[in-house]
Amino acid sequence: MMGNADQAVTDHWVESVERRGPRSDIGRYRQGATLLGISLNAYCEYIRAGLKWCSGHKAWERRADFGPHRRYPDGLNSICRVWDRESARNRQRAYRRRSA
Ligand SMILES: [Zn+2]
């Protein structure tokens, strides 16, 4: 399930955070930390550990579990693949109910 491309994206992201430091995305990180009610430092620790907040499951998950998304600055979706699949299924079900 985890292709080389995904791994490359993950590596690139962790690398860029390491290189530029948390200041590079400080606004977004601070926003994320505030949203989760944790300190900015704690938030950055998660990022450095290769994790990403899944806004679907409301949990920290491995960055490799997220699909690509061009519109987001880190190139990854804000929800993991599992949640993405589940929500697509739920949307389909809701659609079928409506049109029945
Ligand atoms: Zn998830």
Q: Is the pTM of this model over 0.95?
A: no
In tens, the pLDDT along 38-55 reads 988 888 889 888 899 999
Cβ contact 35:69 at 8 Å: no
First vs last Cα of the chain: how many Å apart? Answer: 35
Q: Name residue 76's beta-bridge partners.
A: 68
Query: How far apart are the CA of 60 and the centre of ligand 1, in A?
Result: 8
Q: Looking at residue 43, what is its pLDDT?
A: 87
Query: How far apart are the CA of 54 and the centre of ligand 1, in A?
Result: 5
Pairwise CA distance, residues 74 & 48, whole Å = 13
Query: How far apart are the CA of 51 and the centre of ligand 1, in A?
Result: 11
Q: Looking at residue 1, what is its pLDDT?
A: 45
Tell me which of 82 and 23 has the higher pLDDT. 82
Query: How far apart are the CA of 100 and the centre of ligand 1, in A?
Result: 30
What does the domain layout of the chain look like in residue ranges?
Answer: 1-49, 52-100
Q: Looking at residue 38, what is its pLDDT?
A: 92
Q: How far is CA 83 from CA 30, 31, 34, 43, in A?
A: 25, 22, 23, 22
